[in-house]
Amino acid sequence: MANDFSDATLEGEVIPDDRSLPAAPVLPPELYLLPLTEKPFFPAQTLPLLMNEAPWLSTVEAIGETPQHMVGLVVVKPDDTDDVKRGDFQAVGTAVRIHHPVRADGKMQFIAEGVRRFRVVEWLSDTPPYRVRVEYPNETGKPESEEIRAYSIAIINTIKDLLPLNPLYSEELKFFLNRFGPSEPSRLTDFAASLTTASKLELQDVLEAFSLKKRMEKVLVLLKKELDVARLQSQIRERVDEKMSEQQREFFLRQQLKAIQKELGIAKDDKTAELDTFRERIAKLALPEQAKKRIDEEMHKLSMLETGSAEYTVTRNYLDWLTVLPWGVHTQDKIDLERARRILDRDHDGLDDVKDRIIEFLAVGAMRGEMAGSILLLIGPPGVGKTSIGKSIAEALGRKFFRFSVGGMRDEAEIKGHRRTYIGAMPGKFVQALKEAGSANPVIMLDEVDKIGASYQGDPASALLEVLDPEQNADFLDHYLDVRFDLSKALFICTANDFSIPSALLDRMEVIRLSGYITAEKIDIAKHHLWPRVLERAGLKKNQLTITESALRHVIEGYAREAGVRNLEKQLGRVARKAVVKILGGADTPIKIGVREIEAYLDKPVFVRERPLSGVGVVTGLAWTAMGGATLPVEATRVHTLNRGFKLTGKLGEVMRESAEIAYSYVASHLKDYGADRSFFDTSFVHLHVPEGATPKDGPSAGVTMASALLSLAKNAKIARPVAMTGELTLTGQVLPVGGIREKVIAARRVGISELILPEANRRDFDKLPAHIRAGLTVHFAKRYREVAEVAFG
């Protein structure tokens, strides 16, 4: 074998092996080692091997200088031969003879002819090229014995069973029989082991078996596993092929059946069946002329198109929408005022003024004979029952109900649909509502209309104008349908938390305000609605868990003081869940919930009873927020007397700052009229603060409150008794009306203030309040600030 492995060797050059070597070479006592990573090399094998040139070139060059041109191939533990250490080599390998070495592209390739097993006795080098002293143990066992012959026959029969399952085995068997005879059990066993796909360690175990019988036992087990895997793969392949052929057969039979049925006239193809379906739908509808003409055109177009074309699918979907809409289909209104009142009372406690307003609205519809052309806006804090009132109105009228939220909606196409030029185009929400309701006069609720958005995709709020305007929606045009539909018979109900609605949209609505609940109303709601619902959700029966009225009051006043009842339901749910844990733990039922248990279940109250602030320069005002009414204390103090100055704090908006400046100017110019030192502000630096500085506040209704705080400071006199006030103040001392009177009155009752000062112009708003809200209150109405000062300071 030539040993020229220098860089001068041409790429792809074949270095001839030494043909003069004897056929049975003498086994050398020392060998150089090359690593194998995938599986061991067996003596019965002759295979080409490919290795990286860089780490093993020196080893191959050293092999070329040996007289026998033999090397030891040994399995190593790592999966990469480029970084192999002495300790990675196994103790047993195969001595092979190298033929036809070739170098190309940084790789070395040669044909390895297996000769004999060896065992490493001593390491002669610790770095490449690795050189070891070896021994060649003799095999134990008599090849001619009956037992060995029986194992050989078993191996040969197993190989025969493998041949039909994998044609690759037959090629390897032919190569083996060309070199060895079937009567050589050792070679046969090694060949059989090389056929399997066993793991590296399993095959190494076979290689290390020098006992022929033991090795044949191990190989027979591996062959049996290989046969089982091959049979399983064959079965899976057959099942897949069978399934595919069955599906193809069914497909062809179905196509033939369709053709036969069509010839006999007893069946229709898909296109004809769909056209007939559309015709059946049309027959049940009262189509306007424009819609009928468009549908006829699209039906003719569909009949001309091929079913596999994209245009066919678009047209079919368009016809599906056109024919599924309730053209001319209306439900009969059940306008019975007594029945409507029973439904409203059943579903809602309190809200008597709201119920009266809804009954008036229904009465007008009954007088006209229809409920068309109406848009209600239910406006109030979260959790006061706006959505459920809409459902009750729909039930009272006997109409279908459809609700969707427009909160955060930024795409005009959500309202008026996509044009059919878009892929995946769909009609807008209102057409979808008509389809689901199945009538042209449903009750459609638009939730969170005050939170509708706008973006580069259009302004949905403006798109709502056409839908909600009674003068326009009789000819509503959806971009997808491109056919006008009459929405004038539908009843639209919108909900919002505040009036941040475009004025053009608000102008088209009839506003009904829901101001929130007082404690007595919340107790009734909790008894009749919330507590039964909480028990049902917790899987409890009424006789397993009860709650006292005093406990309900404690939850309302201590944990859920907001205007609505959503948080109240959450707190009751917490109580029920803790009770369920006790019941499952073996507690006796019924469990009775009192005030003491409430604090044990819900910890200490979140809210303590507010006591109105008092003192010089401190006055309690009333404010309206989107969450309901609230008390608004205002504090004024003199910082120093070095110079004149006025400072405002409390995260106040622009309007509220202007109100404070007006109050300061008015009080400073009328100190003598109210019995105060007229020069008080000339040498005083005054600081006016509205507590809860992290909460934004704005609006003119705190004008009289700020003026009273400044006057209290100037007079060095505190308010005579707990009084809450609201009203806008002008520079001439007039008290102008403000909004949110109901919410503000409820807020005053909540903190225990029974004496109020309101603008005279708001007297009618107070008189409209339910009697149970007005009961026990002393209210003073003022046209000018002098009347406010007389009440406040006596």
State how far the alpha carbon of 227 is from the alpha carbons of 18, 115, 119, in Å.
41, 28, 31
- In the numeric block, which tokens belong to residue 718? 């505190």
Q: Which residues contact 60 (CB under 8 A, 6 or more apart)?
A: 5, 34, 98, 101, 108, 110
Local structure of 516: helix, strand or coil: coil
Q: Which of 218, 386, 489, 744 is catalytic?
A: 744
Side chain identity, residue 526: A
- In the numeric block, which tokens belong to residue 450? 């005050």
Class of residue 779 by CB neighbours under 10 A (exposed 0-12, middle 13-18, buried 19+): middle
Active site residue 374: no
* Contact between 761 and 736 (Cβ < 8 Å): yes
State how far the alpha carbon of 305 is from the alpha carbons of 297, 302, 320, 324, 611, in Å.
13, 5, 16, 22, 79
Nearest partner of 210 among 68, 75, 43, judged by Cα: 43
Active site residue 744: yes
- Residue 748 has φ and ψ, to the nearest 5°, of -65, -40
Nearest partner of 634 among 566, 691, 596, 681, judged by Cα: 691
Neighbour-count burial for 598-625, b at 16+ CB within 10 Å, e otherwise: beebbeeeeeeeeebbeebbbbbbbbbb
Rounded Cα distance, 133 and 120, in Å = 6
* Contact between 778 and 753 (Cβ < 8 Å): no
Q: Which of 152, 488, 659, 701 is catalytic?
A: 701
- Which three-class secondary structure string do you get for 616-664? CCEEEEEEEECCEEEEEEEEEEEEECCCCEEEEECCECHHHHHHHHHHH
Neighbours of 250 (CB within 10 A): 10
Neighbours of 691 (CB within 10 A): 12
State how far the alpha carbon of 73 is from the alpha carbons of 86, 98, 102, 204, in Å.
14, 11, 18, 12
State how far the alpha carbon of 422 is from the alpha carbons of 325, 418, 426, in Å.
21, 7, 9
| 253-256 long-range contacts, CB within 8 A, separation 24+ | none
Q: Per DSSP, what are the bridge partners of residue 434?
A: none
* Contact between 300 and 315 (Cβ < 8 Å): no
DSSP 8-state secondary structure symbol assigned to residue 187: H
- In the numeric block, which tokens belong to residue 565? 């009842």
- Residue 694 has φ and ψ, to the nearest 5°, of -80, -10
Local structure of 770: helix, strand or coil: coil
Q: CA 247, 249, 254, 256: dihedral to nearest 10 degrees? A: 160
- Which three-class secondary structure string do you get for 41-70? CCCCCEEEEEEEHHHHHHHHHHHHCCCCCE
Rounded Cα distance, 624 and 740, in Å = 6
Residues identified as active-site: 701, 744
